[in-house]
Amino acid sequence: MPPRWKNPSILTWLLSVVCIAFIISGLSSANITVDRLLGGVVNMGKFIGNAFPPDTTRTSTIFARIVETFEIALIGTLVGVLLSLPIALLCSRNTTPHPIISVCTKGIVSTMRTIPDLIWALIFVISVGLGPLAGILTIVVDTIGFCARFFSERIEEMEKGPSQALESTGATRFGIIAGSTIPIGFPSFVGTSLYAVEKAIRSAVILGLVGAGGIGVELSTAMSLRRFDEALMIIILILIVVLIVEQVSSAIRKKVI
């Protein structure tokens, strides 16, 4: 029987020590104490007490902002998905015109995915000003970074048989992509796109905190002015919208995939 335990390499030991050191340092800098935890529980109780019952006086205004948030997420995701497919075809080894193009495109997609949403939002707020446009552009970039990667991985995992069969009949590169690659990967593309919509709605809420439009502006204002009952109403409406979108997305995935 082969040995079940192998001595870790020096690199493994070194990485383990570094990770443990970061964990210890993080716990130390967090200043976790019993008094702070107990105080946090008390403050949370005060917040909940001040937040109930939810304030419904501005429901129409809040609902309009939530609709705006949904529109930002939907438009941004739609544009991002449409751009992600050709970018994924350039990223994939089996569909790219040249390996150098694949490497360069993957680097661009990785950059889009690596930079956080809030940083993109701040960049676009500076570029195009406050409002929904900055949020839409942020969602577009975030969606490309998310969808293009998974689209590309799905394309690279496809079996070569169907594409080779079309190629043997004299089909062009575009014909192979349209007749084989896209139809085979379509269910996966739809599933990934629906996950992107759910992700975009959550992101759109946060983007409003930096002035990129949507309900985040109202939530930030309510919390800053300590109108916790209004903030709770906003949170409840956000939760309802997110749950509805998740249920609709799940139903579509079951039919398509």
Domain spans of the chain, in order of start: 61-256
Cα distance between the two ends of the chain: 43
Compute the distance between CA of residue 213 and CA of residue 217 in angstroms, rounded to an integer.
7
Look at residue 79 and tell me whether its pLDDT is greater than 90: yes
The class of domain 61-256 in CATH terms is mainly alpha
The 3-state DSSP class for residue 116 equals coil
Handedness of CA 137, 142, 145, 150 (dihedral sign): negative
Greater model confidence, 231 or 8: 231
Greater model confidence, 204 or 79: 79
Convert the pLDDT of each residue in 81-112 to its tens digit.
999 988 988 888 887 888 888 888 888 888 88
Binning pLDDT at 50, 70 and 90, where does residue 257 land? Answer: low
10 Å CB burial of residue 216 (0-12, 13-18, 19+) is: buried
State which H helix or E strand residue 47 sits in. helix 34-51
- Residue 141: predicted pLDDT: 92
Convert the pLDDT of each residue in 232-250 to its tens digit.
888 888 888 888 888 888 8
pTM: 0.80
